[in-house]
Structure 1
Amino acid sequence: MQFAVKLKRWARVVATVALVSLVAACGGGGGGSSDSSSGSSGLPASPTAQPIAANAANTAAITVGTGTSNVINIPTVTVTVCVPGTSSCQSIPNVQVDTGSFGLRIASGVLSVALPQAAVPNGSGTLVECTNFADGYSWGSVRTATVQVGGESTTTSIPVQVLGDVSFLVPSGCVSGSEENTVSALGANGILGIGVAPYDCGSACATGQNSSYYACSGASCARTLVPVTNQVANPVAHFAVDNNGVIVEMAPVSSTGSASGTGTLVFGIGTQSNNARAASQIFTTDAAGDLNNSSFNGRQLAAFFDSGSNAYFFADSSLPLCASNFKGFYCPSSGQTRSVNVAGLNGVSGVANLGILSAATLFANGNNYAFNDLGGQIGGGSSFDIGLPYFYGRYMYFGFDQSANGGQAPYVGY
């Protein structure tokens, strides 16, 4: 999801949500369980880390299950939004945890509190944002709210986006595919973008020609530049404490799929006794969280770790695709291991081993919603999306970009 640089993640997320929604409609340290199904041999060893209890102020419980729309591998938490300076608040469950985007976005259909509109910087009208996906787009106003997740809250109000809440004619430069502003289209009540950036598009929207923000009035909308501090913001980066990153800790699941998954979202890295940075490898990234010097099958590409993608997405012609009922997913006849060489800007490199089982086999049990070895095709081959399956049984660290203030560079680690 992203604008300029960042929306590429969101684009991929929404595309996979739509795809897996069709699958669901048809009935249809990772996992510590044994491989009991035929075809599961050939998978890499599964990590077995267990999440800490979500009982501290800097934690929130993550759930993977049927959610709002019976979409697989959608990790969710509860987010509370409040009208700034008041006690008028709403707790919204089933908000997707997305390390591949930045900022909180809520489907207007679930929002019951009247969050105030954000002002158009140096202008007038309504501030609206367009976000383009691989198969569609969303369109909604920018509002302000104080945001609470777990026991932590933003110190002041921050800009958030409400999807599908305005009637302004969508500019032609925004329209791409179908409009995706509803709970059913998103597969969740909203998206909590907690990737490495503190704001959603940075200089691309502050000084660039292709800002994703619009000033709308009457029957017209025109692109407008928005200073970084007025852009939709990563809530965790604006907490009073524990604001330098997050740890996504997911419990293991079976290689053949589990009915549900659990985990803990931990705020801060190295700021409390429960969030020490214990990653064996740390890879610094670009501002969007990409590891652009990575490679797969001898080809350089951008790899990224994205809890908002419900499968691994990459190009591999040696893996057979599924039949039309599971279009876009891989369906090998036996378990497969694929290895992507991950390389950070700091020169640190490592190998991420991914397991792939046939999607048709995995989806045969329509009661399972958590999978750690699901893979699908991505167009081109210039990127490798290491999605939620890799998070099961691991502690995944995402350090926020604080370089603008002389602090840490953005990084991922595990």
Structure 2
Amino acid sequence: MSIPRTFKRWLGVLGLLAATAVLVTACGGGDGGGGSAGNGGNTGGNGSGGSDGNSGNTAVITVGAGAANVINIPTISLKVCVPGTSNCQIVNNVLVDTASYGLRLVGSAVAGVHDSLPQVTSGGAPVAECGKFVSSYTWGSVRTVDLSIGTEQASSLPVQIIGDLGTTNVPSSCTNGGASANSTGALGANGILGIGPAPYDCGTTCATSTSTSNNYYACPNGDNASCTVALVPLAQQVANPVHRFANSDGVSVQMPDISSSGQGSATGTLTFGLPNLSGKTVMTSTTTGDVSATFQGRNVTAFFDTGSNAYFFNDSAQTVCSRNTEFYCPATTTSYSATLRGQNGASGTVSMPVANADSLFSNPSTFAFNDIAGPFGSSSWLDIGMPHFYGKTIYFGMDKTASGGAQPFVAF
């Protein structure tokens, strides 16, 4: 079965991560802040907004309690401005997601500039975007910002503002009977910085078809009740900012090694722009970052995903935790491996240790883990989540094929 891209990519962020916030709080991890987090100390509005704390083409990645006390959430700070002005705001605790595309910010996290951000329109009507998940959804307007991360800049970038349109009369084709996940507490962060290979979060489908794969809506009367699925040109879709940066060929995520029993925090580096990758295994991927893999004797599709807080895969022989039921709880640490293959034929092996999540989560001050996993929901996928990034530098090449450039890839 083909899993829709937004479902698969955001499952870890809005399904599993939100569940983690609840489960970890209930079962001994975290400190009770999972459902009522504020904006994480965002500053600015009606001014320059100050510094985002980053330098050059790099950003500081922090894993810790963050904005919502959710484990394994790698976040950075960034600056958004009203286009062409110095009216700016720093947004802290934005999730770095190597398996989605585009910037999404919770409305309360940009309250200082929100009302001045220009709305994207379709046929003169304001545009909204829906995120559909297993049992929840997000809903919000599409607006443009001037984005800065260190010295990297993207002007008039279309972004989604999550939760700024409320939940009354949201189209049923979006809600699908689920609950809204439009807050920092539900998201686990103040936003998502999607830096996967694709240049847009949807692409030609949303520019040419109003099928169920199109998440964009036009709202002629400016209210939810008037919204219908709409065609949105590429130039107005939520866009991957990396493609607009000066260093636009790719990104790398570097994280330190951590203890197998977990740590309270970890600090790494997100770098925009790629070095010489001689000596690295470079596997070309799909535009969404997928590569082929062999795992437990079956062929699967694999992807590297900082936006998932654990490894996620199906193993019917593995024990599911009795308390934190989204995770596995083997009696002793189990080591898994998978052989990955790029479209260019290059191959490499990844090793994935999995320990007992119930035991690991018993320490309420521990937020960084390199050895937790859980069931994915489909045996056709292998989600190589945040635990795999500790102790490594992993490189992602942007998809430049639309302009005759390089194929997307992952390298390590």
* Alignment TM-score, normalising by the size of structure 1: 0.88
Residue type of the alignment partner of 2:232: V
Q: How does 1:190-229 map to 2 (within 5 A)?
A: 190-210=191-211, 211-218=214-221, 219-229=225-235
Question: Measured at CA, do residues 279 and 248 of structure 1 come closer, stay the same or move farther in structure 2, by a change above 3 Å?
Answer: farther
Deviation at 1:279, TM superposition (A): 6.1
**Conserved in 1, the CA contact under 8 Å of 2:120 and 2:144?**
no
CA RMSD of aligned residues (A): 1.6
Matched residue of 1:174: which SS? helix
Question: Measured at CA, do residues 152 and 238 of structure 1 come closer, stay the same or move farther in structure 2, by a change above 3 Å?
Answer: same
Q: Does residue 120 of structure 2 align to residue 119 of structure 1? A: yes
Correspondence for 1:80 = 79
Tell me the percent identity: 46
Correspondence for 2:20 = 20
- Name the CA distance, whole Å, in 2 between partners of 1:328 and 1:24: 10
Matched residue of 2:206: which SS? helix
Q: After superposing the two structures, state which structure 1 stretch, 5-14 or 280-289, moved more.
A: 5-14
**Conserved in 2, the CA contact under 8 Å of 1:7 and 1:101?**
no
Deviation at 1:349, TM superposition (A): 1.6
Deviation at 1:409, TM superposition (A): 0.7
**Conserved in 2, the CA contact under 8 Å of 1:106 and 1:189?**
yes
Q: After superposing the two structures, state which structure 1 stretch, 394-403 or 127-136, moved more.
A: 127-136
Residue type of the alignment partner of 1:285: S
Matched residue of 2:15: which SS? helix
Correspondence for 1:32 = none
Matched residue of 1:404: which SS? helix
Correspondence for 2:41 = none
Q: How does 1:381-396 map to 2 (within 5 A)?
A: 381-396=379-394
- Name the CA distance, whole Å, in 2 between partners of 1:254 and 1:316: 25
Matched residue of 2:12: which SS? helix
Deviation at 1:118, TM superposition (A): 3.0
Matched residue of 1:217: which SS? coil
Q: Does residue 318 of structure 2 align to residue 319 of structure 1? A: yes
Q: Does residue 188 of structure 2 align to residue 187 of structure 1? A: yes
1:148-177 Cα offsets, whole Å, 9 max, x none, are: 1122111x2110010011146211111132
Q: Which runs of 5+ in 1 are unaligned?
A: 29-53, 271-275
Q: Which runs of 5+ in 2 are unaligned?
A: 30-52
Correspondence for 2:134 = 134
Deviation at 1:399, TM superposition (A): 0.6
Deviation at 1:278, TM superposition (A): 5.4
**Conserved in 1, the CA contact under 8 Å of 2:130 and 2:140?**
yes
- Name the CA distance, whole Å, in 2 between partners of 1:399 and 1:159: 22
Correspondence for 2:144 = 144
Correspondence for 1:89 = 88
Q: Does residue 271 of structure 2 align to residue 266 of structure 1? A: yes
- Name the CA distance, whole Å, in 2 between partners of 1:234 and 1:251: 26
Question: Measured at CA, do residues 278 and 191 of structure 1 come closer, stay the same or move farther in structure 2, by a change above 3 Å?
Answer: farther
Question: Measured at CA, do residues 216 and 395 of structure 1 come closer, stay the same or move farther in structure 2, by a change above 3 Å?
Answer: same
Deviation at 1:288, TM superposition (A): 1.0
Deviation at 1:386, TM superposition (A): 0.4
- Name the CA distance, whole Å, in 2 between partners of 1:340 and 1:376: 16
**Conserved in 1, the CA contact under 8 Å of 2:16 and 2:326?**
no
Equivalent residues, number: 377
Correspondence for 2:33 = none
Residue type of the alignment partner of 1:212: N
Deviation at 1:391, TM superposition (A): 0.4
Matched residue of 1:205: which SS? helix
Residue type of the alignment partner of 1:244: D
Correspondence for 1:105 = 104
Question: Measured at CA, do residues 81 and 258 of structure 1 come closer, stay the same or move farther in structure 2, by a change above 3 Å?
Answer: same
- Name the CA distance, whole Å, in 1 between partners of 2:189 and 2:55: 25
